Amino acid sequence: MKAPQHPSHRKRRRRNFGDRIRAWIRHHYTQCYDSLLRIVRTPVNSVVTCLLIAIAIVMPTIFYICTDALQSNEHYWREPITLSLFLHPQSNGKNLAHHLQQLPEVKTVKYIDAEQALAEFKAQSGLADMIETLSYNPLPEVIEIEPTADAATHQQLAALKNKLLALKEVAQVQLDIEWLQRFQQLVMLIERIGTLIALLLLAAVVLVISSMVHWIISNRRDEIEIIHLFGASRAFIRRPFIYTGFWYGFIGGGIAWIFAKLILDWISASLHNLLALYGHTYNLATITPLLGLQLMFGTALLGVVGSWIAVVRYLRHHIELPVNL
Amino acid sequence: MEMIRFNDVSMRFANGYQALYDINFTIEKNEMVFLTGHSGAGKSTILKLILLSERATRGQIWMHGRNLRTVTSKRACYYRRNIGTVFQNNQLLFDRNVYDNIALPLIIAGYPQTQIARRVEAVLERVALDDYATRNPMKLSAGEQQRVGIARAIVNNPLLLIADEPTGNLDPDLSDSIMNLFAHLHDSGTTILIVSHDLSLVQKMQHRVITLKNGRLTGDTLR
C-alpha cells in the first residue's frame, strides 16, 4: 500500500466551463451509444417492442398517405359543380350568358340553345323516335354556370342560386349539391375517425415505450440508487433512459417505414390495375425518404416522451428528496 | 473546524415511527468516528440525514458550516458530491470494470477524461489494487471488492467519508485489513464516519465512539 497522502497535497482543481461542457457532451455521447448497445444486447425484448411500435405507427402512416393522396388527386373523383339556368321562352340567352360571365363568382358559362339541347337529349335519352314525332321543341334555352373555387361552399352556392333566380329571364335554377354535402360529411367523418384512431395508436406507442423503459429502470434500480448517492443530478439519471426511449422509437419508426412502403406498394399495384380498366392512370403516393425520416424522428420523439414519463415517475416515487420543512 | 454538527435533531418517519430523539453531536474535521448501536438504534437514519436522503423533522444539521435545511432538493446532488459512501455490500456495478466503477463519481461530477484517468490510477494505488483496473469486480474477492468500493468513495476527495457497516460481510482478517485502510485514509486527513455494530472491532480501533440506543444518544466516548 502506498504512503498516505497528506491533505495539503490533494488539489481540488476547479473545473472550468469548457471542462463541464466537454464532460456533458461526452456523457451524452456515451449514454447514446451505451443505450443502443443495451438494446442490441437484449434482442428478443427489443425486437418485440420495436415491432409493437412499428405496427402501431404503420396504420396512421398509411391513413395519412392515403388521405393526402385523395386530397391531392381530387380532380380524379370530384365532378365540377354546375348551376343549370332554365330560361323563359323568348329570352335572349346569349346576352344573358355574356352578362353572367362578368360576375365575380362565375368561372365559366356555357350557353346551350333549344336546338342544341334537343339534339343532346335525343342522343342521350334513347327516345329519338318519339322526339321526332313532336311538332315543336319543348326544351328551353339553358345556361350552365361553373362557379369559381372561392364561391363553391354550400352557403355561397345557395346565395348565387337566389341571385340568379331573381333575374327575369331565368325560370328555374337547378343546383344539385346534396351529393356534395353528403360526400363532404362522409369525408369529414372518415377523417375524424382516422385521426382518433391515429391518436389512440400514438398514445399506445408512448405507453409501450414507457412500460418498457419502466421495466428497464426496475432492472437498474441499484445502479440508479448508487449514482444518486454519489451526487448524480436528475438529468444525469434520466439521460440513459431517455436515449433508450429515443432508440426504441427511432428503430420502431424505421420498421414502420419499411412496413408502410411494402403495404403501399401492394395496394398501389391493385389500385393501378383497377383504374386502368376504367381508362384512368392513377398511382397512390408512396412514402418518400423525407417522410420516412420524419416518421423515424417523429416516433423517436414519442419514445422520448414515453421514457420521460417513466423515468420522471420513478424519480418522483423512489429517490426524490422530501421537501424542506 | 466542524465537519458535522447535529443540533437537537429528531426524526419521525411518515408512518409515525420515531427514529431519533434530540440527537446532539459534533464531528471535527479530520476526525474518525464510529457510530454504533443495535438494529433499530437510528444509525442508518443518521446516515440518511447526512446524505440528504431524508430531512430531519426537528433540529438542525450542519455540514462543513452549511445548514442542510438551506440545501434545496434540486441542489442536493451537488451537496452529495462532497460525501464518499462505502456500503456494506459494496454496491459495485458488475456490468462494468473496476476502472469504470471507481470513475463513476468523477464522471457524475463532470471531470475531464485525463483527470479521471489520473485520479483513478492514484486511488487504485492507495487501495493496493494497481493492476485491477480492467478486471470485472464480480471476479474479485469480497475484500478486494470492498477496496474497490472504498476507492470509489474517496476518488473525488470528499470532505467526509461515510462507511455503512463496511466489514459486515467480511471475515475477521479481511475486516482488520479494511479497517487498517480506513486508518490510513484518516491519517492522510480524511474525515471518516463509520457505522458498525461490531463492538470488538470498534474497540480495537481506538477512536471516538458515538453510541445510539432506541433513537437516543447514549454514549460519546473518546478511546
Q: What would the DSSP string read from start to end of A160-185? A: HHHHHHTSTTEEEEEE--HHHHHHHH
Answer yes or no: do A141 and A207 share one domain: no
Contact A323, B76 (CB under 8 A): no
Structural domain harbouring A99: 83-175
For A185-189, what is the mean pLDDT?
82
**What is the Cα–Cα distance from A161 to A149, expressed in whole angstroms?**
15
Asked if A241 and A216 touch (Cβ cutoff 8 Å), the reply is: yes
Please tell me the predicted confidence (pLDDT) of residue A325: 35
In terms of domains, do A101 and A186 share one? no
Q: Which of B105, B221, B196 is nearest to A227 (CA)?
A: B105
Pick the last residue of a domain from A135, A153, A175. A175
pLDDT at residue A127 in the model:
78
* CATH of residue A138: 3.30.70.3040
What's A26-71 look like in SS3? HHHHHHHHHHHHHHHHCHHHHHHHHHHHHHHHHHHHHHHHHHHHHH
Question: What pLDDT sits at residue A72?
Answer: 65
Distance of residue B192 Cα from the nearest chain A Cα, in angstroms: 14
Which bin fits B130, alpha (ψ -120 to 50), beta or left (φ > 0)?
alpha
Q: Are residues A66 and A199 in the same domain?
A: yes
pLDDT band for A76, please (50, 70, 90 cuts). Answer: low
Q: Are residues A132 and A249 in the same domain?
A: no
Candidates B209, B177, B178; CA nearest to B195 is: B209
- Is residue A209 left, alpha or beta, with left meaning phi > 0 and alpha meaning psi from -120 to 50? alpha
Q: What is the ipTM of this complex?
A: 0.86
Residues of A in Cβ contact (< 8 Å) with B109: 15, 231
Is residue A225 packed enough to be buried (19+ CB in 10 Å), middle (13-18) or exposed (0-12)?
Answer: middle
User: Which residues are CB-contacts of A43 (< 8 A; sequence separation ≥ 6)?
Assistant: none
Give domain status of residue A15, yes or no: no
Same domain, A255 and A214: yes
Residue A150 shares a structural domain with residue A165: yes
B198 CB burial (10 A radius; 0-12, 13-18, 19+): middle
For residue A207, being part of any structural domain is answered with: yes
N-to-C CA span, chain A: 46
C-beta atoms of A230 and B181 within 8 A = no
Give the C-alpha distances (Å, rounded to integers) separating A281 from A63, A69, A127, A278: 21, 14, 35, 9
Does a structural domain hold residue A18?
no
Diameter of chain B by CA atoms?
A: 50
Could A226 and B72 be called an inter-chain contact, meaning their C-beta atoms sit closer than 8 Å?
A: no
User: In the sheet that A106-112 helps form, which strands lie side by side, from edge to edge?
Assistant: A106-112, A142-147, A83-87, A170-175
Residue A227 to residue B108, Cβ atoms within 8 A: yes
pLDDT at A77: 56
Considering the domain boundaries, does residue A11 fall inside one? no
Residue type, B166: P
Whether B161 has its CB under 8 Å from any CB of chain A: the answer is no
B54: nearest CB among A4, A322, A324 = A322
Number of domains in chain A: 2
The answer as to whether A7 is a domain residue is no
pLDDT at A128 over 80: no
For A23, the closest of B80, B105, B110 (CB atoms) is B110
Q: Is there a domain that residue A35 lies in?
A: yes
Selecting from B77, B126, B157 the residue whose C-beta is nearest the C-beta of A232 gives B77
**Would you state the pLDDT for residue A179?**
67
Domain co-membership, A194 together with A156: no
Q: Are residues A134 and A119 in the same domain?
A: yes
| Whether A314 and A289 share a structural domain | yes
CA gap B83, B76 in Å, rounded: 11
> A105-127 in b/e burial notation, b at 16+ Cβ within 10 A?
bbbebebbbbeebbeeeeeeeee
One domain for residues A65 and A41: yes
Q: Are A321 and B52 in contact (CB under 8 A)?
A: yes
Could you tell me if residue A4 is inside a domain? Answer: no
From A175, A194, A217, the end of a domain falls on A175
Q: What angle do CA B174, B53, B81 make, to 5 degrees?
A: 70
Best B58, B188, B191 residue to mutate vs chain A (most A CBs within 10 Å): B188
Using a CB-CB cut-off of 8 Å, the residues of chain A touching B189 are: 6-8, 10
Tens digits of per-residue pLDDT, B152-179? 999 988 999 999 888 877 777 788 888 8
Distance CA A322, CA B73 (A): 8
Residue where one domain finishes, among candidates A175, A203, A231: A175
| Residues in chain A closer than 8 A to B51 (CB atoms) | 229
Phi, psi of B218 (to 5 degrees): -110, -10
How many angstroms separate the first and last alpha carbons of chain B?
21
pLDDT at residue B162, rounded to an integer: 93
pLDDT at B27 over 60: yes
Using DSSP bridges, classify how beta strands B160-164 and B83-86 pair: parallel, antiparallel or unpaired: parallel
Residue A161 in any domain: the answer is yes
Quick check: B39 pLDDT over 50? yes
Q: Which of A25, A37, A230 to mutate to test the interface with B (most CBs of B within 10 A)?
A: A230
Judge if A91 and A69 occupy the same domain: no
| CB atoms A231 and B73 under 8 Å | no
- Cross-chain CB nearest to B188 (options A6, A15, A234): A6
B110 in Cβ contact with B160 (< 8 Å): no
pLDDT 10s digits, A259-314 = 999 998 888 877 777 767 766 666 666 788 999 999 999 999 999 999 999 999 99
Same domain, A214 and A305: yes
